[in-house]
Amino acid sequence: MSDTQKFILQVKCPDQSGLIATFTQGIAQTGANILDLTQHTAEDIGTFFLRALVECKNDAASKIREHFSNLEGEKKMEWQLHNADRKIRIALFGSTTDHCFYELLLNHRDGALPCDFTCIISNHTTLEPLAHQFNLPFFLVPSDISKPEQEKKFDEILHASQTEGIVLARYMQILSKEFTEAWKHRIINIHHGFLPAFKGAKPYHQAWAKGVKLIGATAHFATADLDQGPIIWQSVQQVSDTGSIDGFIQIGKDVEKRTLLYALRLWLEHRVFLSDGRTFIL
């Protein structure tokens, strides 16, 4: 067993001189080695962000925590130290479509996602065979019961499976304010990039009828305000006026699944920083 571990350090604080030197020297004094470091100052809000991947002996992690705890008040900073080798436990929510599920599950099977999927939760039975295919527990929570009953069942399943984050892989139900607040910044949702221009049913039909030139998708943190949470990642693709509605739908699926995959990877790698309702990706 290796006597070294890798950790990811996240720091957010008001911008001030000497921050990089203070942080890197402090890490070095604990005996840790910096393998990768990204920093950014958002001048508009005077805020400094830093993400560092460090390698250290097992007993050095406590020294890093002690060092940054001592700096907390002086620098007015928020910080976290994550074990880079620990896989986060993620539950997948869906309804009837499976394109996002396959993208996530196949990438996970190939080792491209540093997480463990705990279960699939759906308001339909359509995805149950997919859950069996990937050896995941499947839970049906129908939408014909009340919202409090649904979310009580969610809580029971998520607690029992020791789930730490949720991905809404085209889950076509609205979550309550209480539930999204309890899981704040731990629920990732995907939606087509036409919102709010094309609301309601058949958005790709509406887009085709208007002659759109770009198809997009947005991955964001879910909040009680539908599709208004902090944006993690967005993708677009040019489309031709000679394309059909079916072609638009297929392009939309392709954009959705790759956007969701990348957004989840960013979150799992602790590259997403939040400040006053918006994200910064390092």
Report the catalytic residues: 227
- The whole-angstrom separation of Cα 221 and Cα 180 is 9
From the CA atom positions of the chain, what is the Rg in Å? 21
For residue 65, give both structure tokens. 């925590």
Q: How far is CA 160 from CA 6, 41, 136, 152, 274, in A?
A: 28, 41, 14, 12, 29
What token pair was written down for 163? 């789930």
Instruction: Write out the two tokens for 242.
Output: 């000679």
Ramachandran area for residue 96 (φ above 0: left; ψ -120 to 50: alpha; else beta):
alpha
Q: Are 35 and 55 in contact (CB under 8 A)?
A: yes
- How many helices, marked H, and strands, marked E, lie in the chain? 8, 13
